[in-house]
């Protein structure tokens, strides 16, 4: 498999090929996922929950993210590496430049930021300085206290229309990827059709350009609960590499997510 870039993912969207993404936090799992043919790996600030045992992602800082990005980088040959900008690491444009630089120097190919139109200036500035950006809309976990918990977003028509406008604005600012989390499947489809950049869904229906799962959910080793939008692929295979290959195949064929995994 040739080295995957943001241009690769854009071409996949244009050709109607599904993109498959998963989180990873160390070299060993990253190597397995890379060899299985995963298109992109996200070093998520979800590590605060699945590795550190916190209730949310807020305690994760930029040094945690840089450390795990370095670890994943050492296990990857071809997969695109996306790294999360953690809570309050991009509250100002200057903070964003400094902290995104740390992640790029640690091995990321693109950094991910949560939020809407307020990020336009930040995204524009990062891209102008050679740092690609993945945007993130819907349930943005860093705003869990504003939302009052981990809840589906965009069910009201005005909120849905607002999210579509945010997506367009983020693309116009220079974002090259867009993660959509925990939104109705119809809204996931509408946003995917409204932008030209690839959309990666997690609980956003089957019409996004790709899917992403937290590795602990995809392998059935989450210590709390299995989210509605997830599926344990390891239980079907008994082998980690085969589980990821099955995940890729099921996304490619349009079998995952199924009706039981989507929000309406």
pLDDT digits (tens, 9 = 90+) for 134-188: 999 998 878 766 766 668 999 999 999 999 999 999 999 999 999 999 999 999 9
pTM here?
A: 0.96
Instruction: Write the pLDDT tens digit of every residue in 88-133.
Output: 999 999 999 999 999 999 999 999 999 999 999 999 999 999 999 9
46 is an annotated ligand-binding site residue: yes
Task: Output the 3-class SS for the chain.
Answer: CCCCCHHHHHHHHHHCCCEEEEECCCHHHHHHHHHHCCCEEEECCCHHHHCCCCCCCCCCCHHHHHHHHHHHHCCCCCCEEEEECCCCCCCCHHHHHHHHHHHHHHCCCEEEEECCHHHHHHHHHHHHCCCCEEEEEECCHHHHHHHCCCCCCCCCHHHHHHHHHHHHHHHHHCCCEEEEECCCHHHHHHHHHHCCCCEEEECCCCCCCEEEECHHHHCCCCCCCCCCCCCCCHHHCCCHHHHHHHHHHHHHHCCCCCHHHCCC
Per-residue pLDDT, averaged over 16-34, amounts to 98
Active-site residue list: 181
Sorted by where each starts, the structural domains of the chain and their CATH numbers stand as 6-261 (3.20.20.60)
In tens, the pLDDT along 187-214 reads 999 999 999 999 999 999 999 999 999 9
pLDDT at 1: 72
Find out whether 120 is annotated in a ligand binding site. Answer: no
Ligand-binding annotation for 71, yes or no, is no
């Amino acid at each position: 498999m040739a080295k995957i870039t943001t241009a690769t993912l854009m071409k996949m969207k244009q050709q109607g090929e599904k993109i498959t993404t998963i989180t990873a936090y160390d070299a060993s799992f990253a190597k397995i996922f890379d060899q299985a043919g995963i298109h992109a790996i996200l070093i998520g600030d979800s590590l605060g929950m699945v590795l550190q045992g916190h209730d949310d992602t807020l305690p994760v800082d930029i040094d945690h993210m840089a450390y795990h990005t370095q670890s994943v980088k050492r296990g990857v040959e071809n997969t695109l590496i996306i790294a999360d900008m953690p809570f309050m690491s991009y509250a100002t444009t200057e903070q964003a430049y400094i902290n995104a630089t740390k992640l790029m120097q640690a091995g990321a190919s693109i950094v991910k930021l949560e939020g809407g139109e307020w990020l336009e200036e930040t995204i524009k500035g990062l891209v102008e300085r050679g740092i690609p950006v993945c945007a993130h809309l819907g349930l943005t976990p860093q705003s869990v206290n504003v939302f009052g918990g981990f809840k589906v977003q965009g069910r009201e028509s005005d909120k849905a229309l607002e999210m579509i406008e945010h997506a367009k604005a983020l693309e116009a600012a220079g974002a090259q990827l867009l993660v959509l989390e925990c939104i109705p499947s119809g809204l996931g489809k509408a946003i995917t059709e409204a932008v030209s950049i690839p959309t990666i869904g997690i609980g956003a229906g089957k019409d996004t350009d790709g899917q992403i799962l937290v590795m602990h959910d995809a392998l059935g080793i989450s210590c709390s609960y299995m989210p509605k939008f997830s599926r344990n692929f390891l239980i079907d295979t008994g082998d980690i590499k085969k589980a990821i290959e099955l995940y890729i195949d099921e996304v490619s064929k349009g079998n995952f997510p199924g009706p039981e995994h989507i929000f309406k």
